[in-house]
């Protein structure tokens, strides 16, 4: 699950703003303003230069600029909410928009984790399965099709059941004891 810069900013601001007074929120807005301005200037400078690949642990100036811009917007939203509601301290539980967003994110996260668990379970189940394409001679293919028609199953089921019943003898010979295809 990949979060956008806006999602990261909302989550970060929601946690950092909890318990802050209007003075603390104003300081965070000012910090976000400076961060946005500086990273945007850095991003423009990088764009003017020649194209180059990022080093493995080098920060992406464009992504950083997006995150600061998103933080700035979210801090301003929190400040505006506090002013319009007359709050002296921000409490995330009272923030209807922020709470709805957090619940939506948690639902997406839970759904994603469920999908991942189901995918992992399918992969564990499939790990022991073998999918093979078998080329038979014409006489062997006719015998398999005849057996399948008599048993009322598909020819590939007859081949799979033959493999399930195959026995390896001590002398290395492979044989299939009598069985009824199902």
Q: pLDDT at residue 108 above 80?
A: yes
138-145 LR contacts (CB < 8 Å, sep 24+): none
Q: 41 in helix, strand or coil? A: helix
Alpha carbons 71 and 7: distance in angstroms, whole number: 10
Alpha carbons 99 and 86: distance in angstroms, whole number: 18
Q: Is 17 exposed, middle or buried (0-12, 13-18, 19+ CB in 10 A)?
A: buried
Mean pLDDT, the chain, integer: 87
At 168, phi and psi to the nearest 5?
-100, 120
Q: What is the mean pLDDT of residues 36-50?
A: 79
pLDDT of amino acid 145: 92
Task: Output 63 or 72, whichever has higher pLDDT.
Answer: 72
Give the angle subtended at the CA of 52 by the CAs of 50 and 58, to the nearest 5°. 125
Q: pLDDT at residue 48 above 90?
A: no
Q: pLDDT at residue 71 above 90?
A: yes
**Residue 29 · residue 76 · CB < 8 Å:** yes
**Residue 176 · residue 162 · CB < 8 Å:** yes
Backbone CA torsion sign across 126, 127, 128, 131:
positive
Q: From 160, 166, 134, 130, select the one nearest 147 (Cα to Cα).
A: 160
CA dist 116 → 110, 120, 123 (Å): 10, 6, 10
Q: pLDDT at residue 13 above 90?
A: yes
């Amino acid at each position: 699950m990949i979060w956008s810069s806006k999602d990261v900013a909302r989550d970060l601001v929601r946690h950092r703003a909890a318990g802050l007074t209007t003075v603390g929120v104003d300081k965070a807005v000012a910090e976000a303003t400076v961060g946005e301005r500086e990273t945007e200037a850095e991003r423009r400078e990088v764009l003017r230069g020649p194209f180059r690949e990022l080093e493995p642990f080098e920060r992406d100036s464009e992504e950083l600029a997006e995150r600061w811009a998103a933080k700035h917007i979210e801090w301003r939203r929190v400040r505006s909410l506090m002013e319009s509601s007359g709050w002296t301290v921000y409490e995330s539980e009272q923030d209807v928009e922020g709470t709805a967003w957090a619940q939506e994110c948690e639902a997406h996260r839970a759904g994603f984790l469920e999908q991942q668990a189901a995918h992992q379970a399918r992969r564990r189940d499939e790990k022991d399965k073998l999918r093979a394409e078998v080329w038979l001679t014409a006489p062997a293919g006719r015998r398999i099709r005849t057996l399948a028609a008599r048993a009322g199953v598909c020819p590939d089921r007859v081949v799979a059941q033959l493999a399930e019943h195959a026995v390896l003898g001590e002398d290395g010979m492979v044989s299939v004891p009598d069985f009824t295809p199902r």
